[in-house]
Chain A
Amino acid sequence: MIRFSHACKRYPGGYDALNQVNFHIPRGQMAFLTGHSGAGKSTLLKLIALLERASRGQVFVNGRNLAKISRKRIPFFRRNIGIIFQDHQLLFDRTVFDNVALPLIIAGLPQRDIGKRVRAALDKVSLLKKEKVYPITLSGGEQQRVGIARAVVNKPPLLLADEPTGNLDPELSREVMHIFEDFSQVGVTVLVASHDLDLISQLPYRRLSLKDGRLIADTDPSTQALAG
């Protein structure tokens, strides 16, 4: 689903955010991306969502070489990726329902299908009762879950999350991770960038570790368990 081949990202000024990164995440896998802040986690996610383009090397998503996707086609490409941000990126002048419905409206879904889909997504994050409120009245954890509902409402095959538990207490963080596990179990590829090693070590998923823009470790407890 995601393949990096000698991918490099050099920012103007000569700073190398990513250097010769190679990995492959197959369809339906859940993986963590760890590393200190500044290690290149966000840059790596940005390359996948085409918020940035690789300076050298190649990035493939769903079999497509991202270098070949023109600026005009980027919106359509992004509709296949659900992105979750640390700061939620919700629109505060619209209700929870309208926030979650936005990807469907952008995709041109008929009005009659929207209500059903939005409520299904809100149900998955246990916020069905809050559809009519404005995000500002919600707690940080609830806002994050609205962000997740918005990311999955369009049923994208790939979910990216950048520090989704950054502002949450450990219990809420575990809750959010469980939501991701649920999606992974129904075939969605999930890549979560996080520096919360305590939380990650409790979960049996592949871990890609970045340091200074290089991939320094790629461990997968599930295959190790199988091999053992």
Chain B
Amino acid sequence: MSKLTIATRSQTLLLRHLQVFFYSLGQLSRHPLSLFMTAAVIGIALALPTGLHVLLQNAQQISGRWDGSAQISLFLKKSVTDRQARNLARQLRQRDEIARVSYISREQALKEFQQQSGFGDALKALKKNPLPSVLIIQPTLAHSKPEQTALLLGQLRRDIRVDVAQLDMQWLKRLYAIMDIIRRGVLVLAGLLALAVLLVVGNTIRLAIQNRRNEIVVMKLIGGTDAFIRRPFLYTGFWYGFFGAILAFIMVYTALLLLNGPVEKLAMLYHNRFELSRLDLGTALVLLVSGVMLGLVGSWLAVGRHLRDIEPG
């Protein structure tokens, strides 16, 4: 053996790896149903966290849009007349950093409040309209970073016609906090399901080892190293993980396709256009790599544990 060059040896080793790689696939394809069932279990376990991750990405995208559309509400002093208020609105519209200004007069505000709050009768009892007129200001996209809106807010507060200027951001912060919790939850779920995949692969490989006990004994008798005997089982684990990831991809893809219609409808109700983003290449790649790695690690653990138990003699 020592006469063989390193090149020949590594060439032979590569050939053997390729052979075992496809041999293990061939073995699996002889029982397509059991391959499918194992791969489907792995697929579902992988699809759950992947799907949640994609939905979370979408939620982030939407809230990202809201982030850019922080609104400033200007509650004007009651002494400000309707004309003065309209003047102020016109002035503000001319500023570069402001995209839109909508004016809600005191009367309009009262009418809306009466209609929507259910306190209509109580308000009628009041002699005077208690509501101020309001200007709702939408900064342009280019000027909607937090520090810029804060600067604008400061300037607006100094105007003598303005009673209270309010930047409505608190709910967005709460939303982010909730999303952080969900993200952490998805991570925990992914960890648990990864463990489940390890167990599924490990158990499947354990059964495969038991079925091929005789073969393992023969291999050991004629000088097969542990690495040699392990190899087909590792590649079997690889294929389980691989097919599991492919099935997970199909499941998530289909689920997003099914969700897209209703989501678009909902977005329309909010006078918005929104299309659910698909599984991106990076996520798909991570899915594939984690599937394959879990398959390999699962079978490695099973083989390591059970190979030693099988000894000829």
* Residue positions of A touching B, CB distance < 8 A: 46, 49, 51-52, 75-79, 83, 89-91, 102-103, 105-111, 150
Contacts and interface: CB of A to CB of B under 8 A. Distances in A.
9 contacts: A51-B311, A75-B220, A75-B223, A75-B224, A91-B215, A105-B16, A108-B13, A108-B16, A109-B1
A89 B9 contact: no
B98 interface: no
Interface of B: 1, 4, 8-9, 11-13, 15-16, 214-215, 217-226, 228, 311-313
B1 A108 contact: yes
Contacts of A78: 220-223
Contacts of B223: 75-79, 103, 106-107
A148 to B, nearest CB: 13
A157 to B, nearest CB: 14
- Chain B CB within 10 Å, residue with most, of A46, A75, A83, A109: A75
Contacts of A79: 222-223
A211 to B, nearest CB: 22
Contact of A111 (B1, B15, B218, B225): B15
A46 B218 CA distance: 14
B222 A110 contact: no
Contacts of A89: 214, 217-218, 221
A175 B249 CA distance: 61
A83 B15 contact: no
A102 B228 CA distance: 11
A77 B15 CA distance: 24
A111 B12 contact: yes
Contacts of B1: 107-109
B8 A110 contact: yes
A46 B8 contact: no
B69 to A, nearest CB: 66
Contacts of B8: 110
Contacts of A90: 218
B249 to A, nearest CB: 33
Contact of A106 (B11, B219, B312): B219
- Chain A CB within 10 Å, residue with most, of B1, B15, B214, B221: B221
B215 A106 contact: no
A49 B226 CA distance: 17
A49 B13 CA distance: 26
Nearest to B228: A106
Contact of A109 (B12, B225, B228): B12
Contacts of A103: 222-223
Contacts of B218: 89-91, 102
A109 B16 CA distance: 10
A18 to B, nearest CB: 14
A52 B219 contact: no
Contacts of B4: 108, 110
Nearest to B27: A93
Nearest to A81: B223
A51 B311 CA distance: 8
A160 to B, nearest CB: 11
Given A91-B215, A111-B15, A106 B313 contact: no
A49 B312 CA distance: 10
Contacts of B217: 89
Contacts of A49: 221
Contact of A46 (B15, B214, B313): B313
B224 A51 contact: no
A58 B215 CA distance: 31
A117 B9 CA distance: 17
Contact of A83 (B16, B222, B225): B222
A76 B2 CA distance: 14
A72 to B, nearest CB: 8
Nearest to A156: B223
A102 B218 CA distance: 10
Nearest to B8: A110
A79 to B, nearest CB: 4
Contacts of A105: 16
Given A52-B313, A89-B221, A103-B222, A110 B11 contact: yes
- Chain A CB within 10 Å, residue with most, of B1, B12, B219, B228: B12
Contacts of A111: 12, 15
Contacts of B224: 75, 106
A37 B1 CA distance: 39
A52 B226 CA distance: 18
Contact of B312 (A51, A77, A110): A51
A51 B222 contact: no
Nearest to B19: A105
A79 B225 CA distance: 10
Contacts of B12: 108-111
A150 B222 contact: yes
Nearest to B4: A110
Contacts of B312: 51
A106 B229 CA distance: 9
A83 to B, nearest CB: 6
